Amino acid sequence: MRLFSPQGDAMPTSPIPSAFPVAGHLTRHPEADPHRAAVEQSIREMYAQRYGALVPAFAPMLLALREGSHVLAAVGYRRADEGALFLEQYLDAPVEALIAAHAGRPVDRAGIVEVGNLAAPRGGEGRRLVQLLGPYLIGEGFDWVVGTVTQELRAMLVRLGVAPLTLGRAVPDALGDQARCWGSYYEHEPVVMAIHLRRALRHFMTRRARLAAGGRP
């Protein structure tokens, strides 16, 4: 069983388009990075505070939203072509097959990335992290991002103009004894979702332009 945060919702990166004027910057923290421990500790603390959860393991790559040396928010990711994803424990078919069924066309597993370990103490920092994460993942060559998303995070994505595909419910029974680590997390009705990155970015940019012109969201 692959250990990874169930939440898809606590070195310089690829260039971020100037359309995202947000404070802070992203830093990368692979498993060998000496600064990674501080990011992991921030994630542990945020999950403990929000859900009473004990995070047993982390994604191979962590990203931190920072101002100076301070970690404002963090997220982890794993390539789907490197093995089974954590969230596939909740699904009855490989993630690329389910996305293809919704999208109506074949989907290459190499273009899918799973996000998790998402931790942000305040909504504003969470939104900033999400705004930076999409362009970053596109720059890394991914087409689809998948994750386990609470109802609160899904509502935030919808407010940003993103319409995720729902692939299935995330139920604690799928994890067996490991589910006890996650405290009250499953009370937030998480579901497994997929987002086409470039389409979501276009929708966000269109919504942003409409708002700037004084239109409705």
Give the pLDDT score at 56.
Answer: 87
> Looking at the domain assignment, is residue 180 inside a domain?
yes
pLDDT at res. 29 = 95
pTM assigned to the model: 0.84
In a domain, 8, yes or no: no
* Residue 124 pLDDT: 85
Instruction: Output the six-digit token pair for 119.
Output: 């931790």
pLDDT of res. 25:
85
At 3 the pLDDT is 41
Measured CA to CA, the distance from residue 117 to residue 39 in angstroms comes to: 10
Within a domain: residue 4?
no
pLDDT digit string (tens) for the chain, length 217 residues? 344 445 444 422 333 333 333 346 899 999 999 999 999 999 999 999 999 999 989 999 999 999 888 899 999 999 999 999 999 999 999 999 999 999 999 999 999 999 999 999 887 888 889 889 999 999 999 999 999 999 888 888 888 778 889 999 999 999 999 899 999 999 999 999 999 999 988 877 776 676 667 766 5
Q: Give pLDDT, residue 94.
A: 98
Per-residue model confidence (pLDDT) at position 208 = 67
In a domain, 207, yes or no: yes
Neighbours of 191 (CB within 10 A): 22
pLDDT at 7: 44
pLDDT score at 205: 74
Do the domain assignments include residue 5?
no
The boundaries of the domain holding residue 108 are 25-212
9 is a domain residue = no
Q: What is the CATH number of the domain that holds 86?
A: 3.40.630.30
In a domain, 160, yes or no: yes
Q: Facing residues of 166 across strands?
A: 193
- Domain assignment present for residue 161? The answer is yes
What is the pLDDT, as a whole number, of residue 20?
Answer: 35
Can you name the residues that pair with 62 across neighbouring β-strands? 29, 76
What pLDDT, on the 0 to 100 scale, is given for residue 163?
Answer: 81
Domain count, the chain: 1
Greatest CA span in the chain, whole angstroms? Answer: 52
pLDDT at 54: 94
Cα–Cα distance between 210 and 217 in angstroms, integer? 7
pLDDT at 215: 64
